[in-house]
């Protein structure tokens, strides 16, 4: 009996939609538009955040950084207790890990950079020039940044932030003196030669940063065979958080601390959360708008079919049967509108992914291409949510028919 009424409900609802074809198309297309925009916006937001994370990693953050516990929260100044020994246990492990693409040792310290006219505070990041290019391929971009990257064969080679070059009025080929405190507490100085300027969008960092050869820096601060940070880049396709869980026991055994990009640069993680919330809010508003459209349509349908509903009740249909009839029609609208929306949305996402959407990187003077990916599981969930939402929201106007008596329905129609 129940299955028979459901069959009747489907046939009745389908004929009703065809009877009001113009209005039905408008409601279905509105629902499809809202759902397709939700899919496009959410997939684009995901692809943009992926580029943000990739940009942060490629311009110096790296995927992971291995340090001595407490190093990131220590006060300024170089401390022997917060340096790592070359060839340490975790460094040796990384050489055997097939998921690791490259590593780069870094020595961080502060001091003063001086020439004949100016003297400014700097933050130095001393690196192996070739290893750092592998870990941070977009730290210095040939053709976009000025000059050239550090020369591996020239210990005096240095690259500074574009902001620092302007403050000190330094040109390519100019020399300056770097003054800093050694690890033992004494003062030492070396000469450097400016080979390039790197564009950094954060002014405060651009006006302070200085890159130099780690061999030259080690002699300057007296830290031969020691460094402060090991930057790690994983191979493409390796899940970063899964890799972190895999190596965590090794990190604990080695006595170090491993930080992901989300720890090193929490701003990116915060932006990620903001993007997720904005995308979720947009999708929720579009979903709400679509459901309200369906709700208004169902109210109109009920008002137009008072006599039909009264006739069904006179023939023995219960309030539950009437609610089933109305929710079935709303669900069909949800299936048609949601189905069209999912198909159109994913077609647009596929085209965007194939063609690419230009995106200006906030981490330097270069452009990236956003390529959103089709996500079938989330599309199915969105479709189910729309269908269920339409079916449930229709119960609100359907409740109006509970107290409707057949006699009143016929009387009101006359």
C-alpha separations of 208 from 61, 200, 380 in Å: 17, 11, 50
Give the mean model confidence (pLDDT) for residues 78-91: 90
Give the mean model confidence (pLDDT) for residues 78-107: 92
Give percent of the chain with pLDDT exceeding 90.
37
Neighbours of 39 (CB within 10 A): 28
Give the mean model confidence (pLDDT) for residues 219-237: 92
Exposure b/e, 253-274, CB count within 10 A at least 16 = b: ebebbbbbbbebbeebbebbee
Nearest to 236 by CA among 56, 49, 101: 101
Q: Please, which residues bridge with residue 257 across strands?
A: 67
Q: What's the length of the chain?
A: 414
Give the mean model confidence (pLDDT) for residues 1-15: 66
Q: How far apart are CA 31 and CA 264, in angstroms?
A: 42
Give the mean model confidence (pLDDT) for residues 212-231: 92
pLDDT band at 76; cut points 50, 70, 90: low
Give the mean model confidence (pLDDT) for residues 399-404: 65
Q: What is the pLDDT of residues 336-348, one digit of tens each?
A: 988 999 999 999 9
pLDDT band at 406; cut points 50, 70, 90: low
Q: How far apart are CA 128 and CA 214, in angstroms?
A: 6
Entry pTM: 0.73
The predicted pLDDT at position 111 comes to 92
Q: What is the pLDDT of residues 143-201, one digit of tens each?
A: 778 999 999 999 899 999 999 999 998 899 999 999 999 988 889 999 999 999 998 87
Based on the number of CB atoms within 10 Å of its own CB, is 306 exposed (0-12), middle (13-18) or buried (19 or more)? middle
Q: How far apart are CA 302 and CA 18, in angstroms?
A: 16
Q: What is the pLDDT of residues 21-68, one digit of tens each?
A: 788 888 888 889 988 998 998 888 888 888 877 877 888 888 999 999
Q: What is the DSSP letter of 97?
A: -
Lowest mean pLDDT segment, chosen from 219-228, 352-361, 378-387: 352-361
The predicted pLDDT at position 298 comes to 80
In this predicted structure, the answer to whether residue 1 has a pLDDT above a threshold of 50 is no
The token pair at 273 is 């959360």
Neighbours of 280 (CB within 10 A): 13
Residue 132 CA, chain-centre distance (Å), reads 24
In this predicted structure, the answer to whether residue 264 has a pLDDT above a threshold of 80 is no
The predicted pLDDT at position 396 comes to 80
Residues 6+ apart with CB under 8 A from 175: 115, 156, 191, 192, 193, 194
pLDDT band at 296; cut points 50, 70, 90: confident
**Per DSSP, which regions of 170-253 are E strands?**
175-181, 187-198, 209-213, 226-227, 229-234
Q: What is the pLDDT of residues 93-112, one digit of tens each?
A: 999 999 999 999 999 999 99
Mean residue pLDDT across the chain: 84
The predicted pLDDT at position 70 comes to 86
In this predicted structure, the answer to whether residue 410 has a pLDDT above a threshold of 70 is no
């Amino acid at each position: 009996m129940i299955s028979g009424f459901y069959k009747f409900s489907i046939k009745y609802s389908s004929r009703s939609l065809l009877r009001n074809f113009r209005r039905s198309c408008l409601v279905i297309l509105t629902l499809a538009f809202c759902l397709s925009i939700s899919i496009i916006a959410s997939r684009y937001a995901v692809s943009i955040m992926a580029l943000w994370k990739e940009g942060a990693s490629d311009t110096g953050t790296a995927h992971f950084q291995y340090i001595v516990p407490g190093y990131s929260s220590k006060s300024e100044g170089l401390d022997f207790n917060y340096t790592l020994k070359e060839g340490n246990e975790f460094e040796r492990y990384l050489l055997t890990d097939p998921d690791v693409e490259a590593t780069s040792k870094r020595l961080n310290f502060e001091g003063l950079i001086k020439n004949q006219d100016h003297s400014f505070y700097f933050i130095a990041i001393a690196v192996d020039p070739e290893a750092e290019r592998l870990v941070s391929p977009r730290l210095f971009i040939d053709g976009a940044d000025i000059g050239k990257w550090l020369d591996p064969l020239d210990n005096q080679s240095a690259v500074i932030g574009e902001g620092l070059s302007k403050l000190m009025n330094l040109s390519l080929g100019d020399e300056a003196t770097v003054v800093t405190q050694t690890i033992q507490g004494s003062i030492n100085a070396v000469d450097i030669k400016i080979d390039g300027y790197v564009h950094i969008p954060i002014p405060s960092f651009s006006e302070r940063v200085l890159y130099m050869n780690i061999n030259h820096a080690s002699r300057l601060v007296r830290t031969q065979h020691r460094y402060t940070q090991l930057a790690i880049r994983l191979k493409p396709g390796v899940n970063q958080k899964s890799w972190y869980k895999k190596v965590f026991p090794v990190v604990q055994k080695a006595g170090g601390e491993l930080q992901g990009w989300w720890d090193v640069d929490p701003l990116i993680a915060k932006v990620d959360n903001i993007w997720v919330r904005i995308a979720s809010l947009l999708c929720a508003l579009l979903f709400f708008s679509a459901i309200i459209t369906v709700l208004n349509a169902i109210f109109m349908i009920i008002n137009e079919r008072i006599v039909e509903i009264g006739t069904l009740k006179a023939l023995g249909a219960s309030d539950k049967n009437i609610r089933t009839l109305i929710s079935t029609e709303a669900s069909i609208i949800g299936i048609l509108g949601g189905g069209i929306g999912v198909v159109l949305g994913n077609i647009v996402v596929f085209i965007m992914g194939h063609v690419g959407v230009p995106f200006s990187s906030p981490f330097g003077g270069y452009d990236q291409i956003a390529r959103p990916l089709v996500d079938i599981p989330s599309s199915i969930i969105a479709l189910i949510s729309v269908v269920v939402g339409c079916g449930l929201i229709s119960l609100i106007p359907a409740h109006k028919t509970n107290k409707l008596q057949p006699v009143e329905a016929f009387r009101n129609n006359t």
